Amino acid sequence: MKIASHAPILQALNGARPPVCVAQNTTANPGDQVNLSGSSTLNSKQENARRFQLDGPARQALRVASPATPFLATVLFLSDLDGTWLSPNKENREALDVGVQQLKQEAAEQGVDLQFGYISARPLPRIHQEDLPEADWTVASNGGYVYDREAALGEGVPAQDWEAHKRTFGFNADRAFEVAHELLGDPKFSGLEVSSVGKVVNNPAADACKEIATLCIHNDSIQLAADEGPAQLQADAFEAPSQVEEFARQLTQRLQEEGARFEQSPVYPFHGKPYTMFDLACVDKGDAIEYLREKENLKHDHIIIAGDGGNDIAMMLNPEGEDDGRRAIVVGPNSSLRQAAQQVEKAIIQDAEQDCSLAVLDGLRQHVEEIIHQVTV
């Protein structure tokens, strides 16, 4: 069972609060900044992003806002990467890259410090490989590591109070894999091919966080039940196979009997790889968001998350699994996530067929508009 609140941990560790990242103009030069009138020539990235700019009362207010307006509120936007921020369509992905930076600047002119970043299963080096806009926060390894802007761009030293918190749970990924391979001796699981995510992507850094174990099972090794079929293993129509769910359940039970405290994620597909996977972790994406909420003293409805998979459900809810008012953007067809989002009042559930990058940008625009209206009325 996870700790419901990280506040006592933060107080006990007396972790130093990093400086709040003040919104900056991350466009190349003043000539590249958004023109709300639409009268000037825009580059291709800006042309794709322009239709997602603020409109209505917020747009009119931006025309008269002073850059010196003091911040009235801080907002945190964190997005999953694969299947969420990262569209296979290059132009749409670029539209999101530019559009988020424009929204950050425009929100700052209205007194809203829009901090944005990424929250991914990837380790930090793999996040950097995507050439993403410089972020205020980066959460890597499904919540395993938290980096502020300076740390992510520098030597990659994660938040130390978060590191100390993880060590209190007694969970170790190496032990999880030992028990997993013991279970393969059971005839029910003997054919399963189980690997770590680091081995699947040929990157040992993906296995570096010992407080999180991501187990990947090759789809060809899964024994499907009589009422199951190969189509359900595809990312766009994924339904967890019963054999893998039972394997995850027994592994979780064995480790908990040994005294480890952790949680098991839903079973989910590996984007771009023929694997089905699940996580065992003493912390997850939701815990990392709760940590940042308390560290930065954020209002619940000033948190915006975007995701596309079952392991993103924890981001939408508080540590008790309840809707606490935070905002969500749901993209893609994952049925578990879409069903969970129905219980979140401030969730924007986009069309499952809509391009993920454009769906994220559109949802973010709607949330930011609403927050600007709230703080400026």
8 Å CB contact between 166 and 282: yes
User: What pLDDT, on the 0 to 100 scale, is given for residue 237?
Assistant: 85
The strand pairing partners of 130, in sequence order, are: none
User: What pLDDT, on the 0 to 100 scale, is given for residue 65?
Assistant: 42
What's the longest Cα–Cα distance across the chain? 70
Whole-angstrom Cα distance, residue 121 to residue 112? 29
Whole-angstrom Cα distance, residue 316 to residue 337? 10
8 Å CB contact between 65 and 110: yes
Find out if CATH 3.40.50.1000 is the number for domain 71-165+284-376: yes
User: What pLDDT, on the 0 to 100 scale, is given for residue 376?
Assistant: 87
Low-confidence ranges of the chain (pLDDT < 70): 1-69
User: What pLDDT, on the 0 to 100 scale, is given for residue 23?
Assistant: 31
8 Å CB contact between 361 and 304: no
Q: Which DSSP string do the residues of 180-249 spell out, in sequence order?
A: HHHHTTSTTTTT--EEEHHHHTT-GGGG--TTEEEEEEEGGG----TT--GGGGSGGG----HHHHHHHH
Enumerate residues 6+ apart whose C-beta is below 8 A from 303.
Answer: 75, 76, 78, 289, 293, 326, 327
What are the domain boundaries of the chain? Answer: 71-165+284-376, 171-281
Angle in degrees, CA 152, 155, 157, rounded to 5: 70
Whole-angstrom Cα distance, residue 325 to residue 308? 19
User: What pLDDT, on the 0 to 100 scale, is given for residue 156?
Assistant: 86
- Count the residues in the chain: 377
Whole-angstrom Cα distance, residue 46 to residue 63? 18
Please give the C-alpha separations between residue 133 and each of 86, 117, 303, 313, in angstroms, as whole numbers. Answer: 12, 9, 19, 25
What's the predicted TM-score (pTM) here?
0.70
CA-closest candidate to residue 344, choices 288, 293, 303: 303
What is the rounded (10 degree) CA torsion for 223, 224, 226, 230?
-140
